[in-house]
Structures are given as C-alpha cells and as structure tokens.
Amino acid sequence: MVDPFAPAELGPVTLRNRIIKAATFEGRTPHRVVTDELIHFHRAVAAGGVGMSTVAYCAISREGTTDGHQIVLAEEAVDGLRRLTDAIHVEGAAASAQIGHAGPVANPAGTRRPALAPSRFFTPFMRRTKAMTDGDFDRVIEDFARGTRIATESGFDALEIHLGHNYLLSSFLSPKLNKRNDGWGGSLENRARFPREVVRVVRKAAGQKVALIAKLNMDDGAAGGFRPEESLRFAKMLQDDGSLDALELTGGSSLLNPMYLFRGPAPRREFAATLPPVMRFGFRVVGGLLFRSYPFEEAYFRDTARAFKDALDIPVIVLGGINRLETIRGALDEGFAFVAMARALLSDPRLVNKMRDGESFVSPCDHRNRCLPTIYSGIRCPLPTAD
C-alpha cells in the first residue's frame, strides 16, 4: 500500500506527501499582483498539510487573463510572488504556479485586447474571437518564456501549464474550435503543434530544477470537441517530447460546458446575481444551456484517467471531487502518482492534517457548488463548517 502522507518525488522536487492543492482561481488579485489575502489563502492550505499548493491563475500577459484580474507574470509581480512562495515554504509545502493564456475564454472588456483563438468564432456570450496570426504565435511563445522566467525567479518549485478547459492551448487541440487549414490545424499532429512548442519553450526557460506539469483535458464535454482517444494520443506526444514531470488530467470547457469540470448542481441563479444588471438577461438566455447540472460522483475523472495511467510511463495526477481518505488511498494504490483536491480543501484547509492524524476521514464539502459564484470576489465555502 502507498502511504499518502510519505514524501514523494515530483521530478526534481520532493513533496512531503502525495496530496496537492489543485488550481482554482482565488479571486484575490484585483490589480494583477499578489495581495495579503492571497498569501493568507495559500498559507492556510499549506499549514493544513498539503504537499504542494497551486496558485491559480497566473497569466503570461494581461491579454492572457480571463478578465484582467488574475496575476500577470511580469516584473512588477515578483516581490509579491516571492512573499507568497516564502509563506507556503515556511509551512512546509511546495509552491506551484499554474501558467497559461485564457485565449477564447478571455473577456476583452477586462483584458483590453481581442480574445485570441485558433479560428474566428462567436463565443456563447457573443464575443468574437481573433484568429491567431504568425506574429501572435511568436509573441505568445515569447510571453510564455518570459512568464516562466518570472515564476522561477519568484521561488516556485513547480509550474503547471494550462492545457485544459478550452483556454488558448486547449482550444488549439479542439477540432470544434480549431478550424484552421494551415500547419496549426487539421490533423491532431498539427493541432498539437502549438501546445507542444509552448511546453518545450517553458521547459527550456524553467531549467531542470523546477518540476513541470501539464493540466490536460481528457474530454472537453462538448460535441465535436477534444475527446479521450485523441487526448491520450496527445499525452503520448508530450511524454515522448520529454519535457514534463507529470500530467494532471481534467475535463470540461470554461467556454462551452464549465459544469462538466465541477459536477453536481449548477448554481445558475447565484451566478446571475453576481453579474451587472445589463448582463443578467443574456445569462438567463444562455445560462441553462451553458451551465448544465451533472450528477456528482466522487473521483468522477478517475475512470477515464485510468486509461492514461495504464498507457503512460509519466506520473499521472488524478482529480475530480475527491473527498475521502479511502478514495485517496485507493487512487494511489492503483498507480496514480498524486491526488489533487480543490473544493475539499476550500471547505476545510486543515483536512490533510486531520486525515493524517485520524481526526477526520472525509471533507465537509457537499459539492452543491455554492462556492462557484464567489470565484471573482474571493472564492470561499459557504458552509458553516468551513474554517
């Protein structure tokens, strides 16, 4: 049996245990730099016992944020990022930064730039994307390299490249969103070309002392999108490229089907209440289609992820509504290298220590997703049991 609480190797980094705080946007960076509130958020999770806490979402440019309010990996962010990584390290955990570009998920009103995508199309909120040009490819790749250097300079032990949820790199993999007829579209090999190049550039910029993870969609959860068969083929390409230390497997589309990632009831009314009045009518029109409810089942990505774990030599991180110590032990015993948790730790940041010490074996999270509407105002658990 694998001990969840024993030290484990993640590439060049040793984590104190096999439980990772997954990336979930904290909503605590209104001016694109670290705040004391963000430091407190991650320090609490680190003090609660995780092996590594992942900071989300760190954009490689303002253009790459979803709405202009995420951390941008620029020189002015370094001092705050160092305070953040120092705080996580003081509590004994490693620090990871999720890095990426939002692409078609971005709202131009906040980013002040057109939303980049493989092809031109209208999003569900009737925003038109801009198909990337040769100049855009060069600029974005350089932004990834620069952002990587900023993150490593700031003391992060690991970087997680966002290849999921139909953010920019994920959108290139999707046959539904990528309609290009040049060398960046068509076959899977062509659609994979840009994401693979970014991964190689990030590894080169990061060096060999930082662990490199890719958060990869197995399934977009949208008709005509990226599916597990192609995703596994792409995962083998990444493995063969030799740049990664682990894969974290996910699913769903922030653009087309966000609840496929979270499962459980969709809090549509609560989401609508967070929007400006002018946007609420539009949300009522598309909200029922975009925010679908799915039955919740613990470890809901595990069944699909098994095929990846069995076919790959690279370590695989499993996530998806994991609540119980029994589930963590089971996933590790069948060969997953690490387990990532998000809502379970939001509802109780001290859960890992409680599990280790025998005080608790299950998270208080009810997975009714009432935390999700708080994502842009400082994500928090509404349950009275939350710390």
Predicted confidence (pLDDT) per residue in 140-174, tens digit: 999 999 999 999 999 999 999 999 999 999 999 99
Binned at pLDDT 50, 70 and 90, residue 127 comes out as confident
Q: What is the dihedral of CA 7, 9, 13, 14, to 10 degrees?
A: 10
Active site residue 167: yes
Q: Is residue 175 part of a domain?
A: yes
Distances (CA, A) of 235 to 119, 193, 217, 307, 361: 23, 13, 10, 11, 33
Q: Is residue 386's pLDDT more than 50?
A: no
Residue 386 lies in a domain: no
- CATH number of the domain that residue 349 is part of: 3.20.20.70
Q: What is the DSSP letter of 133?
A: P
Radius of gyration for the chain, computed over Cα atoms and rounded to the nearest angstrom: 19
Given a contact cutoff of 8 angstroms between Cβ atoms, the answer to whether 83 and 147 are in contact is no
Q: Which two tokens stand for residue 104?
A: 């078609």
Predicted TM-score (pTM) of the model is 0.95
**pLDDT value for 327:** 98
Percent over 70 (pLDDT), the chain: 96
Establish if 39 belongs to a structural domain: yes
Q: Is residue 2 part of a domain?
A: no
- Return mean pLDDT, the chain: 94
Residue 218 lies in a domain: yes
Residue 387 covered by a domain: no
- Judge whether 57 and 16 are in contact, CB under 8 Å: no
Chain segment 251-270, per-residue pLDDT in tens = 999 999 999 999 999 988 88
Residue 140 within any structural domain of the chain: yes
What pLDDT score does 169 carry? 98
Catalytic entry in 57, 167, 260, 300: 167
Range(s) of the domain holding residue 269: 8-378
Asked whether the beta carbons of 164 and 102 are under 8 A apart, the reply is no
Each residue of 280-290: pLDDT tens digit? 766 766 777 78
Q: What is the pLDDT of residues 78-123, one digit of tens each?
A: 999 999 999 999 999 999 999 999 999 999 989 999 999 999 999 8
C-alpha–C-alpha distance, residues 94 and 2, integer Å? 20
User: Residue range 12-32: average pLDDT?
Assistant: 96
Residue 305 lies in a domain: yes
Domains held by the chain: number: 1
The whole-number average pLDDT for the span 208-219 is 98
pLDDT at residue 291 is higher than 90: no
Output the pLDDT for position 384. Answer: 75
